[in-house]
Amino acid sequence: MPEDPINHIDFDDLNRKAVSQPLVTHIYTADPSAHVFNGKIYIYPSHDVESHTPFDDLGSHFAMKDYRVISMDSPEGEALDNGIALHVKDVPWADKQMWAPDAAEKNGTYYLFFPAKTHDGIFRIGVATSSSPTGPFTPQPEAIKGSFSIDPAVFMDEDGKYYMYFGGIWGGQLQRWKTGTFKSEGEGPLVHLPEEHEPALCAKIAQLTDDLLEFAETPKDVIILDEHSQPLLSGDTDRRFFEASWLHKHKGNYYFSYSTGDTHFICYAIGDNPYGPFKYSGRILNPVIGWTSHHSICEFNNKWYLFYHDSSLSKGVTHLRSIKVTELIHEENGQITTIEPYVN
């Protein structure tokens, strides 16, 4: 998608065809991480702003500075903006680009996990805490030791263990960590990507310590297998991982879902444990208006919902997005029904 508004699209017609409308319209919001705490839905999005930064493959134009928490009594109810929960100026180690966050709760404390670029330009992942799901959140003085890249997503399993999934290629810098240490851009921002015939870069997983403030182990690869039980290849851009990890559990199966980035699908893979491997199983969401696609999945009153975003409110401006929600259906065979974001 181009950076400027998409002039040939009738956005009034598009919004009539959309399966859902923006949850809030007074600000731009994206990358919604939704959770149910105390019987209420809390959404932790990134807060899009106009920075007038030129478009590039590193996502420099996504120059978000703070986080807000959106709350809802139900998926059909009014969405309330609870104000600023955390600002980059309050995070000692962070310089800019407060990208997609996530949240968790343990023993009455709420945790906000977030990526940001350090003062030397490397994405790290931090954590902040609060006694309220809406914040304000107090950040730890340093990023999580051993953290890198973007898009943290924290999953609590039924045994009480917490796991963080994270990573994103291109602007998310995951390709720069291919050898285990950070590599500079070299000849270009994408120079460290695998060749098309090589296994694709993977999201990462690490169990968290009991206090949820650090990794309890060295991060491991989240491997996605094809129909032949082989890792997806870098050239398989319609299926390989790009960014936006999420994990949910349904009827004993672990569903790892993610964005394919430049091909604009939300896909999923199924495994039998939090670490995988996961077998590629299909698409959850077909492309939306706007370059990025990022989502979360949660259950509310025995129904499942997909939270996602598009750029319809901004008339196609890719870095000014709006969060949405629609019902998600698990079929009897364990597959997820593919959602068309706009219908005739």
Q: Which residues are tagged catalytic?
A: 31, 243
Cβ count within 10 A of residue 26? 7
Residue closest to 135 by CA, chosen among 246, 37, 206, 28: 37
Identify the DSSP state of 262: G
Instruction: Evaluate whether 305 touches 298 at the Cβ level (below 8 Å).
Output: yes
Phi, psi for 140 (deg, rounded to 5): -65, 150
Residue closest to 252 by CA, chosen among 270, 274, 272, 222: 272
Residue closest to 203 by CA, chosen among 286, 123, 275, 129: 275
- Who contacts 305 (Cβ-Cβ below 8 Å, separation ≥6)? 34, 75, 297, 298, 299, 325, 326, 327, 328
Distances, alpha carbon 302 to alpha carbons 104, 257, 308, 330, in Å: 20, 20, 20, 12
DSSP run (H or E) holding 15: helix 11-17
- Helix, strand, or coil here: 60? coil
Dig out the tokens for 123 from the structure.
Answer: 């994405």
- Go through the chain and tell me how many residues it has: 344
- Who contacts 279 (Cβ-Cβ below 8 Å, separation ≥6)? 224, 225, 227, 229, 269, 270, 271
Residues β-bridged to residue 285: 266, 339
